Structure 1
């Protein structure tokens, strides 16, 4: 099952583990740094792999390489429209094209609520098309201009029919602070029913939540007051005594914000409280629309923009799709707030067909198609230009080629891409002979193999190789600093702007040996001293290296303190960014480890990076790691469980959910059951893996003579 985001993968693993335990199949998580390549070949039970787009691709590659691709009976792709979204879309297209080309027995099911040009996808996937407009809860769409609300009506001339005027008395001051009448719109449904307010930016989410609270009556404070007090207490404990001042002010009224600036623990607590009705309103960014399942009675779109970009039809449909709670409401409603100037654009937004979904194999300097060709050659799916041309004829890109690259045909694109891979030193030609004669075939170089096996971005594979090679010359193992620098992700560098005072302060806290690491990667103390004093820098220092080392200091600090709040304050960075950096570093560390496993010269990195990846993945005290291996158990929950006596995976797997609810504060019966089921699933998966390893070790080769029974000593395996 391929899903777009880590959070959705984890939610699905939690939800399906109960079924796995009851119906005797394994549920395995492939997200972030989790997942084995190739997966363990099970003897007695089948597995359900739940994967992100990137991990789904690596999983497919590993099954093709080991000749096990036909073991996949079914592949389900949720949010199939992701094919049209940048580099991730290219990776998804590669995965599906390889599955179709290499396995005749695997069934594919793609699902989406926001697809338009399904004819192209039908042709690419050789698929039947099924569509249905059924919705368990009716959705009514509205647009608000000034104080008038219009219903979206396809029969009307401009697509809108007048519905009603807002009936809410505004003081002059309120009108100034809330010109869009958000307070009027939300108070029509909260606190009895739930409401989502989508905002264009993260800061806007926080401002909206605070603004609404200022004008709510004190009666809102008493609605489920004790549960809100508990939520605040839990949020404070996740931050080791620190609580976000905005949440501190808004939660007593039943409101919160939801965006990537929250830590995972905070986000989980806020989502659980909203699902339980303790929180009645979330001010959120568009990412929630494609994330976890949080429906609402009313969805309000604060403006038809995401940041400064006007909404796409598909984004709009995703957001308003959150309206209506099955089993609770008979209908849901969405209200889009617009200005008079946007009225014409909005008419198109609510009435036009969805945007077409186009292949991204040629986007970002042809990166997708280069990666595809490299892996095709490495996996021996296609080894000549003709075979590669034959493969690309079965992609979505080939179906849409006239729209995407009219000036070049498929053969020109194939030839130019192969030449580029040769220039990069990732592939080479080799003359092979067989009974039918000799021919030139393409093979991957050792660097090429390491690149596709490690799922390393082609734009930085040579830079990674150079950094690892340079690192060998003076690898400092007194601490983890040097290793962390080598796995600090390149794609986060551009999001970083160092604070020179903090940078210099952190540098001075390093030991003398650690300071040598900074100098060896290209950031000497003299450079930082000049930066902090405002003096011109004599010797040019590469910006990318400077920013990368700064992010390394953040990660190094985080591993020592294991507290995101303290580190975010120390570096004056949003706590959500710090956590995203940590998750990205754990994932990239896993990629670098796989990269090094293919290159003999980097043998020493293999054992070292295994430990670094584990530390970055969990970033907690060692005793909590076994508990955090269970899907959905984050740091705050792991601490609670550990303190309540659940100190190992076996303890959790054998726990009674009813007892757990009694001894654990603020845990619902549903949450307890999910934790126990996930722990049982993980324990079962580990036990089966060990059992199969033992059987493999004890299996005697058939061509060897039997044991020598004349000897007095016997080895008995039982």
Structure 2
């Protein structure tokens, strides 16, 4: 390379580097006690220094509504800059959003008014014609809440509106601090608590880390609101070290290691006791074993985990012809392979096997309820608590076939009625089965109505939770399907679960499912296409993008081309699959009855 070329290259690199350089955004941390704001200063005697008094004229009525002076703090930055207010609970998010909007000046209504109206319209579209009353009242002021009670479509719309400045303030829970890139000029922590738990330093750092927009703002601010009684604990929190980071395996000391061993043996990465122990020594958990392990050694945990998997019938010990314990080998059984293929949580593997086995004795196929129950996630059932009045109301509306399902599971209407009326119950009933049946009622209603909002109202359950249940059930249904594919005794479930998984995945009327398989087609678009006469993948594959744009409302040419292209690709894949199946049939031996040989000749 010539000297001139090298100089040019050096100049180019320098130019690119300078263009991409974004100055570091300064983050200032503040604490608010009563109406006094202090700046966090680790070098100061008490860890903080006086900054200013909050100067805001409050009427007596406003003082009662907003004793923490949130209105004063947020109006210093919004609507020109963005603000996040972290709240301890989901309900508090909604209450704070409404309180702020009752106190904000009417001038906020005129800021980007058209775009805020569009946000409400879009929320109505994704909500099947419904909008949350709280959001309907707060969005005109540029304010919204954000927590897990929202559906994924609602969260996406609100995040986009906030990112573009249409919304200037979000009241949110701590979950927004991780995984969602929504920075702000000012972050306010409503209290040093997450639910009832006192804030941990890593949570605090994660939340205040939202403050400051690199490349947009030159400064970011965080303000933690606290009571005098929490002052000392907060000072220890903000000036103390970050919590230690430990291996995730320590939280799931047995289940995590057992699942890891099952995967290692199934993939033949390590199959002997010695190799598995050596592998564990090389993990983060192995590095931390002296800190984490008090009662048992890593060797003992390795041996115990393998013994558990062997006792459960997931692994089998081989006779390796050596007396050395470290050299004994293991191989995976059919049940273990099914659990591995289905990614089944080992805590529920034997329960799933037992439920599926019992289902073979009397599977109720007059309705989908029995199958839905079998694919309702165990972990979600363990975390839920039914609304007993709703449970009883739904139970009393069951058809005879659906009542038969409940009877097979050992859950009676009288039991639910007693729980709903608060009566004492002597007869023991498996709580996990009762809870799981309740969630299966939610899913069953959802499959019949295909409307998250109506099911949410019927079961008095946040719509986001209903949607999360549906997503979890679709995923678990797919896992159970793979589990059954590996075990011949469960052959009857295979075709049934293929269709059920599709229903749970798309949760739309049966005629829309083929259209939903096409990339870029969601429920609303599928309804438009079906109404316009595009009722199958073949219809879409043969469609003209120009005609689609003219026929389907709010469809851009780029989207139309993507839909047609995706439909063609999907159709091509289906044709290839059918061709492979046909070729496989043609390769069958000629002497099979009905496929050649003497039988065919006689016919």
Q: Same fold (TM over 0.5)?
A: yes
Residue 303 in 1 paired to residue 208 in 2? no
What is the alpha-carbon distance in structure 2 between the residues aligned to residue 677 and residue 160 of structure 1?
59
Q: How does 1:2-401 map to 2 (within 5 A)?
A: 136-401=24-289
Retained in 2: the 8 A contact 1:562–1:620?
A: yes
1:282 Cα offset (Å)? 0.7
Retained in 1: the 8 A contact 2:189–2:223?
A: yes
1:250 Cα offset (Å)? 1.0
Query: Per-residue CA shift, 1:384-416, capped at 9, x if unaligned?
Result: 111111111110011111110044332222112
The residue number in structure 2 matching 1:441 is: 329
The residue number in structure 1 matching 2:353 is: 465
Retained in 1: the 8 A contact 2:188–2:223?
A: yes
What is the alpha-carbon distance in structure 2 between the residues aligned to residue 569 and residue 614 of structure 1?
25
1:284 Cα offset (Å)? 0.5
Point out the structure with the larger helix share: 2
What is the alpha-carbon distance in structure 1 between the residues aligned to residue 378 and residue 449 of structure 2?
24
Q: Which runs of 5+ in 1 are unaligned?
A: 1-132, 701-718
The residue number in structure 2 matching 1:547 is: 435
The residue number in structure 1 matching 2:390 is: 502
**Which of 364, 378, 385 is the equivalent residue of 1:476?**
364
SS at match of 1:540: coil
| TM-score normalised by L of structure 2 | 0.83
Retained in 1: the 8 A contact 2:549–2:560?
A: no
What is the alpha-carbon distance in structure 2 between the residues aligned to residue 301 and residue 660 of structure 1?
47
1:216 Cα offset (Å)? 0.7
Query: Per-residue CA shift, 1:253-280, capped at 9, x if unaligned?
Result: 1111000011222222222222222211
1:693 Cα offset (Å)? 6.1
Q: How does 1:671-710 map to 2 (within 5 A)?
A: 686=570
The residue number in structure 1 matching 2:489 is: 601
The residue number in structure 2 matching 1:456 is: 344
What is the alpha-carbon distance in structure 2 between the residues aligned to residue 144 and residue 631 of structure 1?
50
Moved more, 536-545 or 219-228: 536-545
Change (3 A) 1:652 1:297: farther
Residue 619 in 1 paired to residue 507 in 2? yes
Change (3 A) 1:388 1:629: same
Retained in 2: the 8 A contact 1:653–1:676?
A: no
Change (3 A) 1:627 1:278: farther
Moved more, 522-531 or 610-619: 522-531
1:676 Cα offset (Å)? 7.3
1:234 Cα offset (Å)? 2.7
Q: Which has the higher contact order (CA 8 A, sep 6+)?
A: 1
1:286 Cα offset (Å)? 0.9
Change (3 A) 1:570 1:536: same
Retained in 1: the 8 A contact 2:98–2:137?
A: yes
Retained in 1: the 8 A contact 2:545–2:561?
A: no
Change (3 A) 1:209 1:646: farther
| TM-score normalised by L of structure 1 | 0.71
What is the alpha-carbon distance in structure 1 between the residues aligned to residue 53 and residue 186 of structure 2?
17
SS at match of 1:220: helix
What is the alpha-carbon distance in structure 1 between the residues aligned to residue 425 and residue 563 of structure 2?
55
Retained in 1: the 8 A contact 2:528–2:552?
A: no
Query: Per-residue CA shift, 1:193-244, capped at 9, x if unaligned?
Result: 2111111100110011011111111111121222222322332333333322
Retained in 1: the 8 A contact 2:22–2:214?
A: no
1:629 Cα offset (Å)? 4.9
What is the alpha-carbon distance in structure 1 between the residues aligned to residue 288 and residue 532 of structure 2?
58
What is the alpha-carbon distance in structure 1 between the residues aligned to residue 40 and residue 519 of structure 2?
42
1:636 Cα offset (Å)? 4.8
Query: Per-residue CA shift, 1:620-645, capped at 9, x if unaligned?
Result: 23455466557786545655677789
The residue number in structure 2 matching 1:418 is: 306
1:535 Cα offset (Å)? 5.8
The residue number in structure 2 matching 1:76 is: none
Query: Per-residue CA shift, 1:410-454, capped at 9, x if unaligned?
Result: 2222112212222222212123689xxxx7521122222222221
Query: Per-residue CA shift, 1:40-69, capped at 9, x if unaligned?
Result: xxxxxxxxxxxxxxxxxxxxxxxxxxxxxx
1:577 Cα offset (Å)? 1.6
The residue number in structure 1 matching 2:291 is: 403
SS at match of 1:431: coil
What is the alpha-carbon distance in structure 1 between the residues aligned to residue 242 and residue 568 of structure 2?
44
Change (3 A) 1:635 1:354: farther
Q: Which runs of 5+ in 2 are unaligned?
A: 1-20, 585-603
Retained in 2: the 8 A contact 1:150–1:163?
A: yes
What is the alpha-carbon distance in structure 1 between the residues aligned to residue 121 and residue 42 of structure 2?
49
Change (3 A) 1:598 1:470: same
SS at match of 1:361: helix
Change (3 A) 1:217 1:483: same
The residue number in structure 1 matching 2:462 is: 574
What is the alpha-carbon distance in structure 1 between the residues aligned to residue 455 and residue 279 of structure 2?
49
SS at match of 1:371: helix
1:172 Cα offset (Å)? 2.5
Retained in 2: the 8 A contact 1:644–1:664?
A: no
What is the alpha-carbon distance in structure 1 between the residues aligned to residue 22 and residue 167 of structure 2?
29
1:541 Cα offset (Å)? 2.1
Change (3 A) 1:164 1:699: farther
SS at match of 2:330: strand
SS at match of 2:319: strand
Moved more, 468-477 or 486-495: 486-495
Change (3 A) 1:158 1:534: closer
1:360 Cα offset (Å)? 2.5
1:248 Cα offset (Å)? 1.8
